[in-house]
Amino acid sequence: MKSRDATRRSFLGTGALAGAAWTACSAPEAEAPAEPDQPSSLGTPVSRYGQRSPHEKAARGVRESQTPEAASSRTPLDQTYGIITPSALHFERHHAGVPEIDPATHKLLVHGLVDRPMAFSVDDIKRLPSVSRVHFVECSGNSGGEWSPAGAPTVALSHGLASCSEWTGVPLRILLEEAGIQPEAKWILAEGADACLMQRSATLEKALEEGIVAYGQNGEAIRPEQGYPMRLILPGWEGNTNVKWLRRIKLTAGPQYVKDETSKYTELMEDGTAWIFTFEMDAKSVITAPSGGHMVDGPGFLEISGLAWSGRGKIRQAEVSTDAGQTWTEAELQTPVYSKAFTRFRLPWAWDGSETVLLSRCRDETGYLQPGRAELIEQRGRKSAYHCNRIKGWHIAADGSVTSAEV
Amino acid sequence: MKSRDATRRSFLGTGALAGAAWTACSAPEAEAPAEPDQPSSLGTPVSRYGQRSPHEKAARGVRESQTPEAASSRTPLDQTYGIITPSALHFERHHAGVPEIDPATHKLLVHGLVDRPMAFSVDDIKRLPSVSRVHFVECSGNSGGEWSPAGAPTVALSHGLASCSEWTGVPLRILLEEAGIQPEAKWILAEGADACLMQRSATLEKALEEGIVAYGQNGEAIRPEQGYPMRLILPGWEGNTNVKWLRRIKLTAGPQYVKDETSKYTELMEDGTAWIFTFEMDAKSVITAPSGGHMVDGPGFLEISGLAWSGRGKIRQAEVSTDAGQTWTEAELQTPVYSKAFTRFRLPWAWDGSETVLLSRCRDETGYLQPGRAELIEQRGRKSAYHCNRIKGWHIAADGSVTSAEV
């Protein structure tokens, strides 16, 4: 493995910034660039609620569908920066569309194996102790196309059913303890206020340790598509267990095997058995820049950047290969590294203009290393569409065009 | 000082959650709350770029003005969560309005005492090594009304010229070193592309150590009101030095004493001398909930929450008084605590329904403690409007109404 310092030295040594890509920069010998013209008119006044520049076009990927209420939209991960996903671009996966909910009348019912069934209004919940935590949410069907050798052509299509936000809300433990947890309670059933009453079972242990009833997202009220006025956050667990538009939590003795966890979100193994309640999302990484659909504008210095995350804790290490997996170099991680959150990795690189394949892989704090496709299939077979976390490659052609690398 | 644990015990011991404020909750003896009705229709389909709920009305505070291009708008800090300010609500302070800039033609000129003057396009800059850092930006005129005993009536008016974002961009050091820093260079002059060509001098040392040319904000492109397509970030320094719509950085031997740092942003002392280049923002805190204009809906448990920040590093401690300063209790800090960033503090509290005053104060990692108003005036006199960081109080009347506490 090359050290990062060696890469940096070679970047600085090559004077890559004065290379072919830097057509806008004057070489030392050339005439100095002119000062820009002075703007000639006043700009627009201050305003009450800002919008992005009309020059910015990043959008969630939406497929044509006969049932756009039971559909998904994908975060354009290659057009985001840092670790926060803009709320407007947070991926969606709905089963019955986005309900319109009045926060003044919405209630969260906590019942089942409790001493005192309680219904909490939004205002009730906002008076309670709160926490803010940065966590990813990922659909367990994310990267389903990566089971194939070809993989999806863009990072939005391959990994865009994952996003990361600062969530603010009340620890679920507080609500459950206020209602009084009975000794037989071992699981919860969470239910959303969408028309299909989306439901999932989860363990009481997870609910007590890490569950959050979130009403804030990236500093403002949670967005309608992400569960307004409140959603469940079970950090690191399958997106669908992070029930949106949360209206009911029932304490139960065991899992409920509801439609949303038996008709979907189970994994068929090669021997015909099925895995169910595979809650934790496995460690995964992907290079977002450059990525499929991009055109690298000539050789020279180029920062390789991407995202890594794990449902089991912090990312410990992200590595990048610029030679189709022959050698790997450790990338720098954006700090602080949060547990169960997007972790941005970055590696300086000088592209020599020849065809190659870029890969990334990550290791989480449990020591688990993201597998290649063959290794993943060896473990899990080919009958399931869920939980695909194999290494993804991007092919760069000599003309700079970037496509999914077949593996 | 009371320990936090003691406060928690008394909160849990009082059963405050079953108190008067919890009208929505059933008492143990009452009938269990009914399950909510099932929604009867599909919601809205997936979409390409999300918007907040129409029920959410949080807005920047804008005053009527004859010159809305040379004006400010204030973040409603009491309607934000966690430490990230939603970009749409980031405060504004413009001198000539928000320019409309095409990123395809915008250039950043680096010149002056350099070996190779260079003009960087947005695309040039995006290929370079990047960093993402969470930092506040604060107008040095923020809290100007707090020099008076009465103080401003709401937290937007008292502290809303401060906001906090995850900024992504290229370290300024890389651009300057690429241009070749000449030995005589000790300062920089930064200039914006607004119609007034807003300029500020800053030290080369700060530029090299911490300067960022930011093009990303909270995961997406920087917003027009915050400097699209790029702004300077000098973490912890007066907002006006974080020049927006950055188009020029000139390396100089000394400060330039430009109009924007002599006609404004200097501080007159009682003896008639003026302080200039008072770059660092002093440690400051304010309680955002409950705060001026709020109505506390009856006695019982209530989380006190607020924000603290310092231009000199990390917040080490935030304390809250619920008895007008007679006693102070350490609040819990949201972790991780970033340097030169908003730090959320929280304290559980059971309000007994009697009139009182809430205060907060913070200490940063240098050991500096936020002063009271009298102490601040002793140090700095009364002739300046800038850099007011005195302790702010909120008065709670017996009817629950919250107003600015006179000191």
Calpha distance B313→B236 (Å, rounded): 8
| pLDDT of the residue at B31 | 65
Residue A263, φ and ψ in degrees, nearest 5: -75, -25
According to DSSP, the residues that pair with B132 across neighbouring strands are B168
Interchain pair B48, A120: CB under 8 A: no
Q: What is the pLDDT of residue B321?
A: 98
Count of alpha carbons within 13 Å of A34, Cβ hemisphere only? Answer: 3
Task: Report ipTM (2 d.p.).
Answer: 0.93
Contact B168 A81 (CB under 8 A): yes
Please tell me the class of the B72-275 domain: alpha beta
Chain A closest-CA separation from residue B113 CA (Å):
12
Q: What is the 3-state secondary structure (H, E, C) of B238-258?
A: CHHHCCCCEEEEEEECCCCCC
Q: Are B265 and B258 in contact (CB under 8 A)?
A: no
Tokens found for residue B74: 């204030």
C-alpha to C-alpha distance for B38 and A66, rounded to whole angstroms: 24
Q: Which tokens sit at B307?
A: 């924000």
Q: How far is B390 from chain A (nearest CA, A)?
A: 25
Residue A31: the pLDDT is 65
Dist CA B162 CA B348 (whole Å): 25
Cα gap A386→A266, rounded to integer Å: 8
**Which residues of chain B have a CB within 8 Å of the CB of A303?**
127-130
Q: How far is B375 from chain A (nearest CA, A)?
A: 33
Q: To the nearest whole angstrom, how far is the Cα of B303 from the nearest Cα of chain A?
A: 6
| C-alpha closest to that of A308 among A330, A340, A263 | A340
- Tell me whether residues A97 and B53 touch, CB distance under 8 A: no
Q: How many contacts does A have with B, using Cβ atoms within 8 A?
A: 352
Which chain A residues touch B338 with a CB distance below 8 Å?
336
- Verify whether the Cβ–Cβ distance B124 to A25 is below 8 Å: yes
Which residues does chain A have within 8 Å of residue B17's beta carbon, measured at their own beta carbons? 128, 178
Q: What's the pLDDT at B323? A: 98
Q: What is the side-by-side order of every strand in the sheet holding A393-396?
A: A329-330, A315-321, A356-364, A393-396, A402-404
- Using a CB-CB distance cutoff of 8 angstroms, which residues of chain A are in contact with residue B119? 24-26, 33
Q: What tens-digit pLDDT sequence spans chain B (407 residues)? A: 333 333 333 333 344 444 433 433 444 445 678 878 888 899 999 999 999 999 999 999 999 899 999 999 999 999 999 999 999 999 999 999 999 999 999 999 999 999 999 999 999 999 999 999 999 999 999 999 999 999 999 999 999 999 999 999 999 999 999 999 999 999 999 999 999 999 999 999 999 999 999 999 999 999 999 999 999 999 999 999 999 999 999 999 999 999 999 988 999 999 999 999 999 999 999 999 999 999 999 999 999 999 999 999 999 999 999 999 999 999 999 999 999 999 999 999 999 999 999 999 999 999 999 999 999 999 999 998 999 999 999 999 999 999 999 98
Candidate from B24, B44, B73 with C-beta closest to A48: B73
Class of domain B284-404 as given by CATH: mainly beta
Question: A47 vs B124: CB contact, 8 Å cut-off?
Answer: no
B355 dihedral zone (left: phi>0; alpha: psi -120 to 50; beta): beta
Nearest residue, CB atoms, A220 vs list B21, B58, B124: B58
Residues in B touching A94 (Cβ below 8 Å): 43, 46
What residues of A are in contact with residue B291 (Cβ under 8 Å)? none
Instruction: State how beta strands B162-171 and A343-351 pair.
Output: unpaired
State how far residue B129 is from chain A, nearest Cα, in angstroms.
5
Distances (CA, A) of B184 to B48, B199, B250: 51, 21, 13
Q: Which residue of B has its CA nearest to A71?
A: B46
Tell me whether residues A41 and B130 touch, CB distance under 8 A.
Answer: no
Cα–Cα distance for residue pair A241/B294, rounded to 1 Å: 35
| Unique residue bearing structure tokens 């950055």 | B246
Q: Would you call B82 and A132 a contact, using CB atoms and an 8 Å cutoff? A: yes
Task: Give the nearest partner residue to A119 out of B25, B50, B336, using CB atoms.
Answer: B25
Phi/psi of residue A99, each to 5°?
A: -70, 150
Closest Cα of chain B to A378: distance in Å? 35
Distance in angstroms (rounded) separating the CA atoms of residues A353 and B136: 40
Q: Name the 3-class secondary structure at A119.
A: strand
With CA atoms as reference, the chain A residue closest to B49 would be: A88
CA distance A196 to chain B (A): 8
Which residue in the set A44, A79, A117 is minimally distant from B26, CB to CB?
A: A117
Nearest chain B CA: its distance from A209 CA (Å): 17
CA distance A381 to chain B (A): 32
Say whether A97 and B229 touch across the interface (CB within 8 A).
no
Nearest CA in chain B to A300: B127
Taking CB atoms and an 8 Å limit, are A43 and B100 in contact across chains?
yes
For residue B118, what is the nearest residue in chain A, using CA coordinates? A25
Residue in B68, B166, B305 nearest the CB of A46: B68
Q: What is the nearest CA distance from A148 to chain B, expressed in angstroms?
A: 26
CB contact under 8 A, A218 and B218: yes
Tell me which residue has tokens 């559909």: A71
How far does the CA of residue B278 sit from the closest CA of chain A (Å)? 26
d(CA A159, CA A350) in angstroms, rounded, equals: 26
Measured torsion, CA atoms of residues A362, A367, A370, A374, in degrees rounded to the nearest 10: 150
Model pLDDT for residues B136-149, shown as the tens digit of each residue = 999 999 999 999 99
* Mutation for B interface: A56, A127, A196, A212, most B CBs within 10 A: A127
What ranges do the domains of chain B cover?
72-275, 284-404
Give the E-state strand segments of B176-290 in sequence order. 187-192, 199-203, 212-217, 220-221, 231-233, 246-252, 267-268, 274-275, 284-289
Residues of A with CB below 8 A from B118's CB? 25-26, 33
Short-list B66, B264, B95, CA closest to B195: B95
Give the nearest partner residue to B86 out of A80, A218, A229, using CB atoms.
A218
Residue A205: count other Cβ atoms within 10 Å of its Cβ: 12
Task: Mutate one of B77, B89, B127, B402 to test the A interface: name it (highest A CB count within 10 A).
Answer: B127
CB A299 within 8 A of CB A19: yes
Task: Find, in chain B, the residue whose alpha carbon is nearest to that of A90.
Answer: B50
Q: Indicate yes or no: CB of A124 within 8 angstroms of CB of B22.
A: yes
CB A96 to CB B223 under 8 A? no
Both tokens of residue A201?
């079972």
Structure confidence at residue B38 (pLDDT): 81
Q: Which neighbouring-strand residues pair with B308?
A: B285, B343
What distances in angstroms separate CA A237 from CA A131, A216, B195, one per listed residue?
Answer: 18, 19, 50
- The neighbour count for residue B5, using CB atoms within 10 Å, is 8
Residues of B in contact with A299 (CB under 8 A): none
Query: Using a CB-CB distance cutoff of 8 angstroms, which residues of chain B are in contact with residue A100?
Result: 43-44
Q: State the amino acid at position A81 in one-letter form.
A: Y
Whether B72-275 shares its CATH topology with B284-404 is answered no
pLDDT along chain A (407 residues), means of 10: 35 40 41 79 96 98 93 98 98 97 97 97 96 98 97 98 98 98 98 96 98 98 98 98 98 96 91 94 98 96 97 98 98 97 98 98 98 96 94 98 96
Q: Encode pLDDT of B257-283 as tens digits.
A: 999 999 889 999 999 999 999 999 999
Say how many C-beta atoms besides its own lie within 10 A of residue A382's C-beta.
12
Place of tokens 């005492």: B113
Residue of A nearest to B331 (CA): A129
Tell if the CB–CB gap between B45 and A228 is shorter than 8 Å.
no
Cβ of B80 within 8 Å of Cβ of A219? The answer is yes
Lookup: tokens for B113? 């005492």
Q: Do A45 and B21 touch (CB under 8 A)?
A: no
| DSSP SS3 for A69 | coil
Q: Which of B71, B89, B219 sits opposite A82 (nearest CB)?
A: B219
Residue A283 one-letter amino acid: A
Out of A44, A109, A130, whose CB is closest to B33? Answer: A109
